[in-house]
Amino acid sequence: MSPFVSPDEIRTRFSQAMSLMYRDEVPQYGTLLSLVADVNAETLEQDPALAARLERAGEIERLGVERHGAIRLGTARELSTMRRLFAVMGMVPVGYYDLSVAGVPVHSTAFRPVSDAALAKNPFRVFTSLLRLDLVSDAALRETAAAILARRRIYTPDALALIDRAEAQGGLADGEADRFVAEALHTFRWHGEATVDAATYEALSAAHRLVADVVCFKGPHINHLTPRTLDIDAAQGEMPRRGIAAKAVVEGPPPRAVPILLRQTSFKALEEPIRFPGGTGAVSGTHTARFGEIEQRGLALTPKGRALYDALLARARDGEETEGPYETRLARAFADLPDDEASLRRQGLGYFRYTLLDAGKARPGAALEDLVAAGAVGADPIVYEDFLPVSAAGIFQSNLGGAEQASYAANAARDAFEADLGAGVLDEFALYAAAERASIERVEAALGASFRTASAA
């Protein structure tokens, strides 16, 4: 037996500890959790077929613990250490998101588990952004910010020592894992004291509110935690009834019979008191950074499906669809994406996980598609585990508190990001394709046959 706690278990402990901490720091997050739990229970009760399918996919158990968070880092060193910290809990960087196109001076990745088994245990993800000071035009301000960031230490010495130990030993023993969780948690806490004086805060905030959020504090406070709902429209409707002012528009695709990718809504960031050093100790300013968010996840799309999604979204946002409110334009644009599972699968638009349901119904030599039609094999949507850059930008914008609409020339810098990270980011599509392929191979092995046709994707 391994003397170490599994990374899945450490991730679960960490995500639990983070959730407790955030509920303490931002009580409305607790309200969101109970709202989502109620909506999910209601949805499952009213839709036994959905309940059965989630059960089959092993998603029922994960639903109660499922959430994502987000942080914003200031330096390459912070980012590469964050990669090592998350690796201890089985989370690796997936995807590259360039948000500069949307006027946010960061680029990002998502740390998350990747294997089917680890995702089923606990799919905790952290959307992690790195500030791009190169996009700040004022050179003096850029230098000030870089100097402040170079001085801060966001990890405790014990957290660093435990990361070293996990790497050297190949894991952490039970007590070490608990200490690691407690030490790592410090990095994500809110600190009400700014590390800079009010004038510096104002100057950085004027360049972009996000710059002040990253540079002026002791560490990268977790800025939201997001539970997963099975019905985001119901959750959105319920928010005002529980005293939460919801963001006006749900980000992502419109409501559909077959949920795809990711739909998200949030409540606006709190305006929190901050103190500046050298002051009287009295509140000397406010800062908006921390908020609450809810999401609904659906089918992971193939590159072909995703290209269609991106095109349809653009059509609704700033393309041919110009008549009526946003929701109407969005619904009209998405009429061009099939909205039943069979079409999405047959047209190679989404990824599916295949399971053998009834070997007795399987004719020898049949194609996979025939086996699905005959009810011998089930095809369930593979859940999208990642993020959407346009949605993420919308979430950033609605929570920065200011009205500014900065814009930067489209300026992806993936190579620089990976160099700062100290590793490459994984390709999300390759992960979904591998999960689909592995499920087909399991069916093949169980039937002792191989299928004539390759998977749609």
Footprint of Ni ion on this chain (CB under 5 A)? 226, 293
| Shortest distance in whole angstroms from residue 396 CB to ligand OOG | 5
Q: How far apart are alpha carbons 238 and 307 in whole angstroms?
A: 33
Number of chain positions touching ligand OOG (CB under 6 A): 11
Q: Which of 15, 40, 129, 439 binds ligand OOG (CB under 6 A)?
A: 129
| Shortest distance in whole angstroms from residue 299 CB to ligand OOG | 18
Q: How far apart are alpha carbons 57 and 120 in whole angstroms?
A: 8
| Shortest distance in whole angstroms from residue 390 CB to ligand OOG | 9
Q: Can you tell me whether residue 80 is helix, strand or coil?
A: helix
Q: How far apart are alpha carbons 87 and 166 in whole angstroms?
A: 9
129 binds, options ligand OOG, Ni ion, none, Cβ within 5 to 8 A by partner type? ligand OOG
Is 127 an interacting residue with respect to ligand OOG (CB under 6 A)? Answer: yes
Q: Which of 67, 72, 83, 121 binds ligand OOG (CB under 6 A)?
A: 72
Residue 356 DSSP label: E
Is 287 an interacting residue with respect to ligand OOG (CB under 6 A)? Answer: no
Q: Which of 12, 187, 264, 455 binds ligand OOG (CB under 6 A)?
A: 264
Is 111 an interacting residue with respect to ligand OOG (CB under 6 A)? Answer: no
Is 356 an interacting residue with respect to ligand OOG (CB under 6 A)? Answer: no
Query: Among residues 75 and 265, whose Cβ is nearest to Ni ion?
Result: 265
28 binds, options ligand OOG, Ni ion, none, Cβ within 5 to 8 A by partner type? none
Is 384 an interacting residue with respect to ligand OOG (CB under 6 A)? Answer: no
Tokens 């968010």, residue located: 293
Backbone angles phi, psi at 57, to 5 degrees: -85, 0
Query: Among residues 78 and 293, whose Cβ is nearest to Ni ion?
Result: 293
* Position with the least CB separation from ligand OOG: 392
Q: How far apart are alpha carbons 339 and 343 in whole angstroms?
A: 7
Buried residues in 310-329 as b, exposed as e (16+ CB within 10 A) = eebbebbeeeebeeeeeeeb
| Shortest distance in whole angstroms from residue 398 CB to Ni ion | 11
Buried residues in 332-361 as b, exposed as e (16+ CB within 10 A) = bbbeebbeebeebbeeebbbbbbebbeeee
Q: How far apart are alpha carbons 12 and 170 in whole angstroms?
A: 18
Provide the binding-site residues for ligand OOG, judged by CB under 6 A: 70, 72, 127, 129, 223, 264, 387, 391-392, 395-396
